[in-house]
Amino acid sequence: MSSSPVGREPSSSQASLSPAASPSQSMSGQDIPLQTLVTYLLASKRSLSSINTVWRANEIVQSARIALEESVVLSARTGFLRSGISEQVQILRRVRGGIENVYKEGQKDFKTVIRTLDAANARLESTMDTLRSTIVEAAFRPPHEDPRNLLDFVHEQGVESMQDALKASIKEAQEAQTDFDTSILAFDDDLRALKSAMSHPKQPTSQSQSELLSSETQIPTHLHDLEIHAQEMASLLDSLVQHFDLCVNAIRHTEGGYAAVRHAASHPPPGAEPVSVSGVMNTESESVHEAPISEEERLEMLAVLENDSNEVEDVVLELRDRAADMESKHESILEQVATLQAAYRATTNAYSSLEVVSSHLPSYIIASQEFRYRWEEIKDGMRAQMEELEGMRIFYENYHSSYDGLILEVDRRKQSEEKVKSILKKAMEQVKKVHDADMMERSAFRDEVGDFLPMDLYPGLTDQPPRWGVQVLEKSGELDAASGAGSTPNLPSAVVEAADQRDRERRRLGQR
């Protein structure tokens, strides 16, 4: 037998049976006992059971080829689907980002409007507090009336109605935002479901397309190794068959060989595998008719036989080792195909999930547009309400400033009346002087001529001069002698000074 470095593994060598011996081997060949020949034959017959291993090797090669074809198809389909899904996912993420921008802009705008609204309401409340804390001067009101503030003379119902309307607008905006939130969360759930569908228990999410392709490229390498193993195993099996044929030939040309073989096959030693030789070789009577061989040929045959018999076990072991390695590689191939199948199933599931997301996408976009439209509509309404609220504040501010103006006007009127009274007082003093002089002149005239003029000549001769006075008239011009109406109330100087100071401050700030 010869040895050649063909390995089951890179460092192993292959054992083979040589079909013929060299001249030196034939010249040194010796006769082999019959029992030894029988042992060689039975061992060789047992070794031929390795044909099942060779058949299995052929099955493995065929299975690996089918697996390679399937892996190429699966990888191509998976790669195509994954590439398309990845592009669609990127588009979905851009759409999701656009929707989120609408949401963030709406939130930012809403917070700005609320801050503006709070500031406007705070200014209005401050103005109303000012009116509430400003007590109307008692001089302006009827006697015995309870003190009243400026706010008592206006209706607060309009302010309350406006505040309620603003609260309703805020609630409507929050409801629109909640509806939009629900749509965004549903979009996120769809994206998470899509991401989950692209994962697989045996294939982590981080497994990339290149890793899948790497798994695919390992299959051709394994298939190449399996084909080499199968070819070598077929060659080894052929050498075993040739060795068996040589053993049979040796038995045929040995007297009593057939009977010895039948006896040994029917009485195997304890623990030995039974061997059937029925139909394998001719009966002894039939072997007599075969052409005899020379002694030299027989010795040469026996030399080859003895040499090869020592290698039978090694060949069988090598067949088993190669078969085991093929089973291992075949299992690896099947696992890789299973991985590709799982990846393909996960990808098809992801594609189904993508179809679901795509069917929901229009509703998410519509929800975004509806939110923007509703918010713009609500915001316009709130701005109009805030303008009305600001208008109320300005009215109340003018009301308060007008009250200060009333105080100053009343003080001006009082000063005007005082001037009139001063003028009238001086005039009455002059009138009294004229009246007194008239009295004296009348008395002197009566004393001088009274004895000479008859009394009935002029009845008014003895009349006293008329008395002159000043009366306050009503707006109609008629004399109001009963109540003394028209008298302007006298306000404390501190009240007038405070009103004047506030009025000056307003003028300085340009509020009036």
Q: How confident is the model at residue 220 (pLDDT cuts 50, 70, 90)?
A: confident
**Tokens representing 349?**
């599931």
What is the domain partition of the chain in residue ranges?
A: 19-107+201-350
Decide if pLDDT at 9 tops 50.
no
pLDDT, tens digit, 9 for 90 and up, residues 397-425: 999 999 999 999 999 999 998 898 899 99
Q: What is the mean pLDDT of the chain?
A: 77
Check: CATH 1.20.140 for 19-107+201-350?
Answer: yes
pLDDT, tens digit, 9 for 90 and up, residues 168-186: 999 999 999 999 999 999 9
Give the pLDDT mean for 439-459.
83
Q: For 95-125, give the secondary structure using H, E and C.
A: HHHHHHHHHHHHHHHHHHHHHHHHHHHHHHH
Give the whole-angstrom CA distance, residue 212 versus residue 440: 141
Decide if pLDDT at 123 tops 60.
yes
Decide if pLDDT at 264 tops 90.
no
pLDDT value at residue 24: 38
pLDDT value at residue 105: 92
Give the whole-angstrom CA distance, residue 250 versus residue 435: 189
Decide if pLDDT at 26 tops 60.
no
Cβ within 8 Å of residue 294, ≥6 positions away: none
Q: If you count them, how many residues does the chain have?
A: 512
SS3 at position 4: strand
Higher pLDDT, 447 or 223: 447
159-to-117, 150, 397, 465, 486 alpha-carbon distances in Å = 14, 15, 14, 67, 37
* Placement of tokens 């004296």 in the chain: 440
Decide if pLDDT at 28 tops 50.
no
pLDDT value at residue 46: 67
Closest CA to 324 of 50, 68, 6: 50
Q: For 268-298, give the secondary structure using H, E and C.
A: CCCCCCCCCCCCCCCCHHHHCCCCCCCHHHH
DSSP string, 418-447: HHHHHHHHHHHHHHHHHHHHHHHHHHHHHH
Give the pLDDT mean for 325-353.
85
Q: How confident is the model at residue 198 (pLDDT cuts 50, 70, 90)?
A: confident
CB atoms within 10 A of CB 414: 16
pTM here? 0.59
* Placement of tokens 């998410």 in the chain: 364
Tell whether the torsion through CA atoms of 13, 15, 20 and 26 is positive or negative: positive
pLDDT value at residue 374: 92
Q: How confident is the model at residue 369 (pLDDT cuts 50, 70, 90)?
A: very high
SS3 at position 311: coil
DSSP run (H or E) holding 14: strand 14-15
